[in-house]
């Protein structure tokens, strides 16, 4: 296990710390996008796969789903399917569920 002085739950801070050369991070590849294809960053532990974290769209149960909610769910579903940085991740899925 890698340990260090910086601990954060902010993806922005994690990204900035890595870009500043402060160390390594376990994070989604889409956080760095095209930078992984440049010489500025290097992917280490490529075979390591953390436990997948699903994304759920939760909305109120009923016959009527507001158009903006349906549109947002549809947009996210397509964005995650079409984004090569997310599509490369095993187990990526977006699930809509009413409660």
Cα–Cα distance for residue pair 7/57, rounded to 1 Å: 28
β-partners of residue 58 are 97
Domain boundary among 50, 73, 90: 50
pTM above 0.85, yes or no: no
Q: Above 70 in pLDDT, residue 93?
A: no
Tell me the per-residue pLDDT of 43-73, one tens digit each, with 9 for 90 and over.
888 787 777 777 777 877 777 888 998 898 8
Question: Number of structural domains, the chain?
Answer: 2
In this structure, the answer to whether residues 46 and 59 fall within a common structural domain is: no
Q: Above 70 in pLDDT, residue 91?
A: no
7 closest CA partner among 20, 25, 21: 25
Torsion of CA 44, 19, 90, 50, to 10 degrees: 70
What is the residue range of 93's domain? 55-98
In this structure, the answer to whether residues 41 and 65 fall within a common structural domain is: no
Contact 86, 92 (CB under 8 A): yes
């Amino acid at each position: 296990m890698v340990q260090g002085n910086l601990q954060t739950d902010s993806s922005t801070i994690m990204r900035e710390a890595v870009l500043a050369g402060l160390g390594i991070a376990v994070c989604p590849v889409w956080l760095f996008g095209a930078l992984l294809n440049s010489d500025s960053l290097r992917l280490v532990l490529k075979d390591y796969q953390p436990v997948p974290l699903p994304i759920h769209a939760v909305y109120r149960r009923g016959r009527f789903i507001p158009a903006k909610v349906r549109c947002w769910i549809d947009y996210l579903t397509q964005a995650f399917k079409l984004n090569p940085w997310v599509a490369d991740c095993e187990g990526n899925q977006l699930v809509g569920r009413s409660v």
